[in-house]
C-alpha cells in the first residue's frame, strides 16, 4: 500500500505507511491518503464479525490495519494493536460498547479511555506505532499538535514516558473547559510542553501547519503530527466505525448486509472522515450525518456547496468547545475524493486558503455526489438545543451525555423526525460528561460525578506557557526544549 498527497498534481504514490506515520503533513502541504481504498465484501465482513466476537477489538483493529500497512511485520502489527486496546486502558473488554436507546437509535461509546474522550481510540494506537517505528529507526520525534479540547490530553497521555518522544501541544487560551485545561496542564514532564495561544483553535492549527511547512526546520528537529492530519490517526478511527456497525447489526436478519447510518459531532472533519473511508471500503454505511454547533462551516458546505473559512472573531465560543473550529483540515481529504482525486484542483482550492476565503462547489457536478454517492447529510445545534437534549436523553433513556454528543443527538432527532434516513442511526459519543460540568449542571441541575481516577485534578499544579499567535515563537520553544534535553542527556 502506497500513499499520495491530496495536492499531488500527478497522483504519484511514493510513500509507505511508516514514512507518512513519521512525516505527518505532506511536503506540499497536502494530506496523505492511500492510492486506493481496499475493498471488502460480505465474506470479509462476516470474518470480521467472528473476529470481534471471538478475539476482541484488538484483533479487529489488526485485521483492518493489515489492509493499509505492509511495512510492519504482521506479528508486530498484531502486538501493537493488542498493547493499544486493553480492558485496563478502556475499562471494558468491549473497548467500544454500543447501547441501543430505542428501535432505531444507538449510542457508540468511544470515551472510555484514559482521558475520557474519543481521541484516546486513535492516540493509544498512535503512541504504540510511534514508539515501535522510532525504535526501528533509532530516531526521535518532536510531536507538534493543536487541540480544541481533547486531542491534547489524549496525545500527552498516549506519548508521555515513551522513549525519544517530545510533545509540543498548542491550545486556544481560555477556550477549553476547566477540566480539559486541568487534565492537559497537570502533566509535569520535561518531554511535554503545553503552549496556550492567544487565539482560537484555528490559529493553533495554522501555526502547526506553518511550522511543519518549513521543511528544513521539520527535518532538522524531526517534527511529527498527532492531529488528524496524520493518516495513521484517521485509520485508527476507521476501526470503531466497523465495530459499531457490527454491534448495531447483531440482532437483525442478514447482518452482514444490513445498513446503518452514523451521526457524528465534528469540527475538524477528522472523526466523520474516517466514516467516509469505511463507507468507501464497502462497509454497509448508508448515510453519514455531520453534526455541528454554532460554528457551522461544515453544515453550510454540505447544504450549499459553499466552504468559507471564518475569522477568529467569527468563531463562536460555545458550550461544545471541541467543535469551535471554523477551518476543517480534513475536509481536504474528502474534497479530493469528491473531485475524483484531482490533486491539481484540490491544491488550487486549499493551497492558498486563508481566513475569510473559501470556494463554491454548488454548481459543480461533484456537489450532486455529496448525497447520492457519498451519502452525506448535515445539521446544526445551539446551546439551547444542547441543554434540552441532555435533559431529555437523561429523562427518556437514563443516559447522561456530554454537550458534543448532545449536538449529534439533536441532529439525529431532527433527521429521524424529518424521515431523511430510513436505516438505524448510530450516534458517536465523543466525551464523558465530567469534562463539561458547567453545561451539564445547567441542563440537569447537578454536576456529573468526578470519577476517582480524575479526583487529583482538583488541586493539580499547572504547567503551561502562554504565547502570542506567532509560529516563530513556537519554533523558539521547540529549539530551546530539544537543546536542553540534549545537553542533559
CATH code at 272?
3.40.50.1100
- Predicted local confidence at residue 354, as pLDDT: 66
In a domain, 239, yes or no: yes
Q: Looking at the 3D structure of the chain, how many domains does it have? A: 1
pTM for the whole structure: 0.93
The closest of 325, 331, 265 to 119, measured between CA atoms, is 265
In a domain, 171, yes or no: no
Dihedral angle sign, alpha carbons of residues 142, 146, 151, 154: positive
- Tens-digit pLDDT profile for residues 272-303: 999 999 999 999 999 999 999 999 999 999 99
The string of DSSP codes covering 111-173 is --STTSBTHHHHHHHHHHHHHHHHHHHT--EEEEEE-SSSHHHHHHHHHTT-TTEEEEEEEET
Residues ≥6 apart with Cβ < 8 Å to 342: 336
Q: Which residues are catalytic?
A: 119
- Predicted local confidence at residue 24, as pLDDT: 84
- Predicted local confidence at residue 227, as pLDDT: 76
In a domain, 238, yes or no: yes
Please give the Cα distance from 281 to 36 (Å, whole number). Answer: 9
In a domain, 485, yes or no: no
Other C-beta atoms within 10 Å of 2: how many? 16
In a domain, 426, yes or no: yes
- Predicted local confidence at residue 349, as pLDDT: 94
Residue 467 per-residue DSSP state = E
Please give the Cα distance from 478 to 489 (Å, whole number). Answer: 17
In a domain, 226, yes or no: no
- Predicted local confidence at residue 95, as pLDDT: 98
- Predicted local confidence at residue 224, as pLDDT: 86
In a domain, 134, yes or no: no
In a domain, 345, yes or no: yes
Which structural domain range is residue 326 located in? 95-115+232-444
Given a cut of 70, the residues of the chain with pLDDT beneath it are 12-13, 354-356, 489
Amino acid at each position: 500500500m502506497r500513499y499520495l498527497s491530496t495536492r499531488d498534481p500527478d497522483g504519484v504514490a511514493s510513500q509507505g505507511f511508516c514514512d507518512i506515520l513519521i512525516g505527518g503533513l505532506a511536503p506540499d502541504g497536502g494530506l496523505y491518503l492511500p492510492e486506493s481504498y481496499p475493498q471488502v465484501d460480505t465474506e470479509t465482513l462476516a470474518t470480521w464479525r467472528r473476529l470481534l466476537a471471538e478475539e476482541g477489538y484488538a484483533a479487529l483493529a489488526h485485521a483492518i490495519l493489515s489492509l493499509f500497512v505492509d511495512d510492519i511485520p504482521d506479528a508486530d502489527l498484531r502486538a501493537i494493536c493488542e498493547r493499544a486496546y486493553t480492558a485496563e486502558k478502556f475499562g471494558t473488554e468491549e473497548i467500544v460498547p454500543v447501547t441501543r436507546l430505542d428501535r432505531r437509535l444507538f449510542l457508540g461509546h468511544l470515551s472510555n479511555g484514559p482521558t475520557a474522550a474519543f481521541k484516546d481510540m486513535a492516540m493509544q494506537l498512535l503512541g504504540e506505532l510511534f514508539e515501535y517505528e522510532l525504535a526501528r529507526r533509532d530516531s526521535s520525534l518532536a510531536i507538534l499538535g493543536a487541540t480544541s479540547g481533547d486531542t491534547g490530553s489524549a496525545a500527552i497521555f498516549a506519548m508521555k514516558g515513551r522513549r525519544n518522544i517530545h510533545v509540543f501541544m498548542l491550545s486556544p487560551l481560555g477556550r477549553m473547559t476547566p477540566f480539559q485545561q486541568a487534565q492537559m496542564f497537570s502533566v509535569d514532564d520535561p518531554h511535554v510542553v503545553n503552549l496556550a495561544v492567544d487565539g482560537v483553535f484555528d490559529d493553533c492549527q495554522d501555526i502547526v501547519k506553518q511550522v511543519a511547512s518549513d521543511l528544513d526546520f521539520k527535518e532538522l528537529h524531526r517534527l511529527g503530527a498527532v492531529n488528524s492530519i496524520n493518516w495513521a490517526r484517521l485509520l485508527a478511527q476507521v476501526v470503531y466505525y466497523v465495530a459499531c456497525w457490527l454491534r448495531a447489526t447483531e440482532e437483525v436478519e442478514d447482518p452482514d448486509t444490513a445498513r446503518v447510518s452514523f451521526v457524528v459531532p465534528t469540527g475538524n472533519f477528522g472523526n466523520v472522515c474516517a466514516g467516509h473511508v469505511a463507507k468507501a471500503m464497502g462497509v454497509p454505511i448508508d448515510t453519514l450525518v455531520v453534526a455541528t454547533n454554532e460554528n457551522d462551516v461544515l453544515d453550510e458546505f454540505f447544504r450549499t456547496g459553499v466552504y468559507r473559512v471564518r475569522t477568529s472573531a467569527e468563531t463562536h465560543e460555545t458550550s461544545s468547545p471541541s467543535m469551535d473550529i471554523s477551518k476543517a483540515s480534513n475536509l481536504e481529504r474528502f474534497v479530493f475524493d469528491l473531485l475524483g482525486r484531482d490533486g491539481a484542483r484540490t491544491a488550487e482550492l486549499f493551497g492558498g486558503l486563508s481566513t475569510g476565503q473559501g470556494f463554491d462547489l454548488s454548481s459543480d457536478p461533484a456537489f450532486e455526489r455529496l448525497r447520492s454517492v457519498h451519502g452525506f447529510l448535515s445539521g446544526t445545534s445551539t446551546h439551547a438545543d444542547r441543554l434540552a437534549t441532555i435533559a431529555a436523553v437523561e429523562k427518556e433513556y437514563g443516559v447522561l451525555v456530554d454537550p458534543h454528543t448532545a449536538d449529534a443527538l439533536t441532529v439525529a432527532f431532527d433527521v429521524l423526525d424529518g424521515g431523511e434516513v430510513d436505516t438505524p442511526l448510530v450516534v458517536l459519543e465523543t466525551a464523558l460528561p465530567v469534562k463539561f460540568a458547567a453545561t451539564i449542571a445547567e441542563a440537569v441541575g447537578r454536576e456529573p460525578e468526578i470519577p476517582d481516577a480524575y479526583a487529583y485534578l482538583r488541586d493539580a499544579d499547572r504547567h503551561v506557557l502562554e504565547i502570542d499567535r506567532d509560529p516563530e515563537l513556537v519554533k523558539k520553544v521547540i529549539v530551546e526544549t530539544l537543546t536542553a534535553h540534549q545537553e542533559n542527556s
